[in-house]
Chain A
Amino acid sequence: MAKKKKWDYSPAPESKQPAAISRRYELFINGKWQQPTSGSYFSSINPATEEKLSEIAAANEADVNKAVQSARLAYEKYWKKITPAERGKYIFRIARIMQERARELAVTETMDGGKPIRESRDFDIPTAANHFFYYAGWADKLDFAFPNKKASALGVAGQITPWNFPLLMAAWKIAPALATGNTVVLKPAETTSLTTLKLAEIIQEADLPPGVVNIITGAGQTGALLTKHMDINKIAFTGSTEVGKIIQRTLAGSQKKLTLELGGKGANIIFEDAPIDQAVEGVINGIFFNQGHVCCAGSRLYVQESIAKIFIKKLKDRIGTLLVGDPLDKNTDIGAINSAQQLKTIQSYIKIGKAEGASFYESDCALPKKGYFCRPSLFTNVAQSNRIAQEEIFGPVLCILTFRTDDEVIEKANNSPYGLSAGVWTDKGSRIFNISKRIRAGVIWANSYNLFDPTSPFGGYKESGFGREGGLQGLQPYVQLS
């Protein structure tokens, strides 16, 4: 018998056609598509091909004013007056239309941001729709959410979303704001505005009163204008700690409420009694999900020394099976890095890690010639003193440290300016409770990682921000209790 050919998966690309991306997008203000006062547009490109997808309006100060004004008007004229059940009806409608247009949204998200179609199809879009469904249910039950208190809306919420989960983050922000009776001006990240603009189309289709949701696009400057605007009652921001600090300074002394969801350097802790093979999978999912562009990524791995050798071997073997390439291919595990700039940041951290003396290992997979790609990689022999163990890389780079005792690993895990997420892997229930009680992180996963649900609150401690999104707790930042 002839020697058999190696069995590889043939390309299985998803069609681009359902995306139906327009050549140009205007600003969505007061229920209408409006040209920007500036008259200027910026390009949105596909990070996997470096091709231009569309051009998008850049909102200036006049546009921001217009958007906030229309949100204020809509609040006074419509949104404040309709019944809570009626508000819920609109939100349910948004959720259903999102489901109907799920394929279009998934393909667009993947083309615009570079994430694998498997993730946008199976995670981003369905979870975003679920958020609307979940908060739609709360709209007429706020009395039960806050017993013996009266919850009233704040007014106009200014919201700024990041580029890693564009549509999902828009859902996290818009859904609770609407459910509690606020109106919204939202600015998506400039590299990934497309699905948020499609969400504006959906909101139009759902026939929301004009001005209840306004979407303005632009770079950081537009966001800064929004945070400074005097007629806004609430700012919600998800993004870098650096920008979060600037926003907090801007808001100091104002009456605006603030929620910040910032960076992280999640500690994923593996004890020697852990279910090893599932822990390996959890570590892979924790760091390589969405190319590592996840604020709660498990980027600091702590492995108990007694199992470090076999664990790292298994991790390396598993990294070898990850498929890197065309994000639209249904078999792709790791897609494109979101932007040229982010790729540069990741590469500079890899250089720093090598210079710091850590051992570098990366998959030997081939990378596409065009587009921004990065091989999944890991550093061993890392210490707390290394910058790669302290700073957020926001890419597919894992740092592995070892530990000996429970107390030691708790101390090390907490030894970070961040406090967003952590993972603990052990067969011992009491250890799970001990560790999770003593680690300062907003989310702690036990024998799992990167699982999300609309009913579960998400947010950080320390420089990872404050305020919670999701769940009952996610209503609180959008209401005044009396």
Chain B
Amino acid sequence: MAGKKPAFNIQILNHSTVEQTGVEERAIRFTKRSIKGASKMQGLHMVLSMIDLTTLEGKDTPGKVNQLCIKARHLHDHIPGLPSVAAICVYPSMVSVAKKALQGSTIKVASVATAFPSGQSSLRIKLADTRFAVEEGADEVDMVISRGKFHAGEYAYVFDEIAAVKEACGKARLKVILETGELGTLDQVKKASTIAIAAGADFIKTSTGKIQPAATMPVTLVMLETIRDHFYKTGKKVGMKPAGGISKSKLALHYLVMVKETLGDAWLDKQLFRFGASSLANDVLMQVAKETLGHYQSPNYFSID
């Protein structure tokens, strides 16, 4: 969205409440879908194509990031026809390394920013952090909201900050991390989602991966429902990224079922849905190999960059 920054309007928070037990029940229903045969294979391919392969550690080096980028391009060349992951997700200082390593591929570089993971810094620093990531070549920026301000009831501050970061992103797409593990209730998750979407988020994202609990199905469902409300009202599609804790194929397929039955088939696309994960890819690859060859292979056959 180019041009004017949106202004906070308190009325956006006049949304309906959330009933936790109802959300949990609905989330369990998605896990009862049986995904077998052709639909399993198609689902697994889809999961791979939606992964933001992530490394966010203090000990990250150009060497580590480089290896991860090679993994992103060559997930498992023993099986032809596999998609590549959607993006590599790194700290701002590693963006240029990743950008170079991924040259010539369709894989995006996503960078966390805004004093990730706590977000406890000034707006000036956060904007500078964002601009640095974008200048280094980030295609996508994963920002964190100010949870402290949110809990203090300063919703306008949270909103304006997101809008400002969005502006600083320029052409880069903005994912807004709510850090739902720190928000306390599903009602708060809905409120934070609504603020982030109204302030211009291209994606809303559950977690940094540094706080437990990270992504859960109930939390993701509430966020998907908020995206749906926005779509009903405006016709605009906002993306969703659960991150942290999704390391098994079966769980990833349950998430896809949830997306399909909540938002529809249009959202089953890496433009609108991502998994933030580091070890999910190999579990999916093992399942794909099993479906292809008819038996499980040892984990030793799957690279661990």
Contacts and interface: CB of A to CB of B under 8 A. Distances in A.
Contact of A278 (B19, B37, B38, B43): B19
Contacts of A448: 21-22
Interface string A256-292: 0000000000000000011111110110000000000
Most chain B CB neighbours (cut-off 10 Å) among A122, A276, A448: A276
A7 interface: yes
Contacts of B39: 7-10
Interface string B240-258: 0000000000000000100
A427 B14 CA distance: 13
A447 B232 contact: no
A331 interface: yes
B18 interface: yes
B103 interface: no
A66 interface: no
A274 B40 CA distance: 37
Given A7-B256, A7-B268, A278 B32 contact: no
Contacts of B232: 310, 313
Contact of A447 (B16, B22, B32, B38): B22
A447 B19 contact: yes
B36 A275 contact: no
Given A10-B37, A276-B16, A278-B26, A5 B42 contact: yes
Contacts, number: 68
B269 interface: yes
A277 B224 CA distance: 11
Contacts of A310: 232
Do most interface residues of chain B lie in helix, strand or loop, or is the interface mixed?
Answer: helix
A7 B268 CA distance: 8
Nearest to A310: B232
B160 interface: no
Contact of A10 (B32, B40, B261, B268): B40
Nearest to A333: B29
B260 A281 contact: no
B197 to A, nearest CB: 16
A313 B34 CA distance: 28
Interface in B115-143: none
Interface string B12-25: 00001111011101
Given A12-B36, A277-B225, A330-B34, A7 B43 contact: yes
Contact of B18 (A8, A277, A330): A277
Interface string A1-43: 0001111111010000000000000000000000000000000
A321 B224 CA distance: 16
Interface in B268-300: 268-269
Given A9-B35, A10-B36, A330-B32, A281 B26 contact: yes
Contacts of A273: 16-17
Contacts of B268: 4, 7
Contacts of B32: 118, 122, 330
Interface in A111-146: 118, 122
Interface string B46-62: 10000000000000000
Given A9-B34, A9-B35, A278 B46 contact: no
Given A275-B17, A310-B232, A330-B32, A7 B265 contact: yes
A331 B32 CA distance: 8
B74 interface: no
Most chain B CB neighbours (cut-off 10 Å) among A10, A12, A122, A273: A10
B33 interface: yes
A19 to B, nearest CB: 19
A271 to B, nearest CB: 10
Nearest to A121: B32
B11 to A, nearest CB: 15
A7 B16 contact: no
Interface string A398-432: 00000000000000000000000000000100000
Given A12-B36, A448-B22, A277 B265 contact: no
B33 A321 contact: no
Contacts of A277: 16, 18, 22-23, 225
B34 A331 contact: yes
A282 B29 CA distance: 13
Nearest to B25: A281
Nearest to B18: A275
Given A7-B256, A281-B26, A313-B232, A274 B36 contact: no
Nearest to B22: A278
A9 B23 contact: no
Given A6-B265, A7-B260, A330-B32, A275 B22 contact: yes
Given A7-B268, A9-B35, A321 B261 contact: yes
A4 B260 CA distance: 14
Given A278-B18, A427-B17, A4 B269 contact: yes
Contacts of A313: 232
A272 B19 CA distance: 14
Nearest to A322: B261
Nearest to B221: A277
B46 A7 contact: yes
Most chain A CB neighbours (cut-off 10 Å) among B22, B33, B46: B22
Interface in B196-233: 225, 232
A5 B268 CA distance: 11
Nearest to A313: B232
25 contacts: A6-B265, A7-B39, A9-B34, A9-B35, A10-B36, A10-B38, A10-B39, A122-B32, A274-B17, A275-B16, A275-B18, A275-B19, A275-B22, A277-B16, A277-B23, A278-B18, A278-B23, A278-B26, A279-B19, A279-B22, A281-B26, A282-B22, A330-B32, A427-B17, A447-B21
Interface of A: 4-10, 12, 118, 122, 273-279, 281-282, 310, 313, 321, 330-331, 427, 447-448
Given A12-B36, A281-B26, A447-B19, 15 more contacts: A4-B269, A7-B46, A7-B256, A10-B35, A10-B39, A12-B34, A12-B35, A273-B17, A275-B19, A277-B18, A277-B22, A313-B232, A331-B34, A447-B21, A448-B21
